[in-house]
Structure 1
Amino acid sequence: MEVVIHNIRSLFNIGACFRNCDAFGIQHLYLAGYTATPPRPEITKTALGADQVIPWSHEPDILALLARLKQEGKTIVAFESDPSFPSVDAVDVPEQAVVLFGNEPDGLPAHVLASADRCLYIPMKGTKTSLNVSVACGVALYALTRK
């Protein structure tokens, strides 16, 4: 499984996503769009070395990246805070899936969502309708890798 984080502003969230990827055995982390890249002190602080062990690449053009991954036979699974999408608990995804996350204020742009093979959401019981991207990444990867 691989992960794409798209247009993430917070360097601390980027570092936390590296940690999540390490925790759940992710093979590659793509830092897409304007997402910052290591080395940055804020990323290093929250990554706690995961940025040194998780293979990563910066991919400015998300659509070109997704097209390339699809050509490689990967299934693109996007996460959004839209309850009309199936719950992460209700579906299985292929082991070679690429899991895609956007930023919290805007989510993923419609043209990026249209490139996904499947869109999922994380059910929430409280009054808030979204999670911090690093939290969503951790919850989603836990749910997807425990099956």
Structure 2
Amino acid sequence: MADRQVGVGPWPGGPQRWPDDPRYDPELLAAGDRRNVDDRYRYWTVEAIVADLDTRRHPLHVAVENFAHDMNIGSVVRTANAFAVAEVHIVGRRRWNRRGAMVTDRYVHLRHHEDVAGLLDWARHAGLPVVGIDNVPGSVPIEGRALPRELVMLFGQESAGLSAAARQACAEILHISQYGSTRSINAGAAAAVAMHSWMLEHAEPA
């Protein structure tokens, strides 16, 4: 059985039937839109999609420490796009592996901080608490925990977790309860679980 094609082909009827709407991209109308976007955004320009998302982003910020070009950052960005978070903050190295983002970084607001101190300074001026997500001694289960509506969730790297500077900076550190033999779950998966926990508490039905 042939694989199902994603997206849509050229706009039916040709250029004479194209919609008179500046949000639509003439190149996509002519060639079709096979991007990984929700159907409501078919044929829209990237700029139009971002502008629409900006009208309904959630007051949740996500930050990721980046010291070893962790491939999970792309996965975190993709999930942040799915949940329409306010911004994704990259702490540490400016460059990161974007493959896992599957081009969703085009629709997310990204902000870079040289180090944890820079993130903390930004969060302080924005009036946002920084909550770490890591299974370290003293951390509290995220399940059933009341999360602030406006906050920064800070994630560490795969295997190493949050740096010592990050742990000291957090207002509190939460962990995702586990029941198997592994010490930790994938960092990208942990970010998805934590963001969804916030959505269950604060987001309206999609």
Q: TM-score range by the shorter chain?
A: 0.7 to 0.9
Measure the CA separation in 2 of the matches of 1:83 and 1:50. Answer: 34
The answer to whether the Cα contact below 8 Å between 2:70 and 2:158 also exists between their aligned partners in 1 is no
Q: Which residue of 1 aligns with 2:88?
A: 29
Question: Match for residue 63 of structure 1?
Answer: 117
Query: Structure 1's 106 and 47: CA in aligned 2 closer, same or farther, altered over 3 A?
Result: same
Aligned pair partner of 1:2 in 40, 58, 61 = 61
Alignment RMSD: 1.7
* Cα pair distance change 1:36/1:94, threshold 3 Å: same
Cα shift readout 1:5-61 (whole Å, capped 9, x = no counterpart): 002535531211111101112110011112624xxxx51x32122100000022112
CA distance in 2, matches of 1:57, 1:84: 29
SS for the counterpart of 2:169 is coil
In the alignment, residue 80 of structure 1 is paired with which amino acid?
Answer: D
Letter in 1 for 2:166: V
Change (3 A) 1:55 1:12: same
TM-score when normalising by structure 2: 0.64
Amino acid at match of 1:139: V
Shift of 1:86: 1.3
- For structure 2, the 5+ residue unaligned runs are 1-59, 202-206
1:42-87 deviation per Cα after TM superposition (whole angstroms, max 9, x unaligned): 51x3212210000002211211211220232101110111264211
Matched, 1:126 2:177: no
Task: Name the larger-Rg structure.
Answer: 2
Contact 1:8–1:36 under 8 Å retained in 2: no
2:150 to 73, 79, 96: 96
Structure 1 gaps, min length 5: none
1:79–1:119 Cα contact (<8 Å) kept = yes
Q: Is the 8 A contact 2:72 2:158 kept in 1?
A: no
10-19 or 49-58, which deviates more = 10-19
Once residues 114 and 11 of structure 1 are traced to their aligned partners in structure 2, the CA distance between those partners, rounded to angstroms, is 22
Report how many residues are paired: 142
Partners of 1:8 and 1:101 lie apart in 2 by 12
Match of 1:49 in 2: 103
CA contact (8 A) 1:83 1:123 kept: no
Using CA pairs below 8 Å that are at least 6 residues apart, which structure has the higher relative contact order? 1
The TM-score with structure 1 as length reference comes to: 0.87
Q: How much does 1:134 deviate?
A: 0.8
Q: What is the alpha-carbon distance in structure 2 between the residues aligned to residue 36 and residue 117 of structure 1?
A: 27
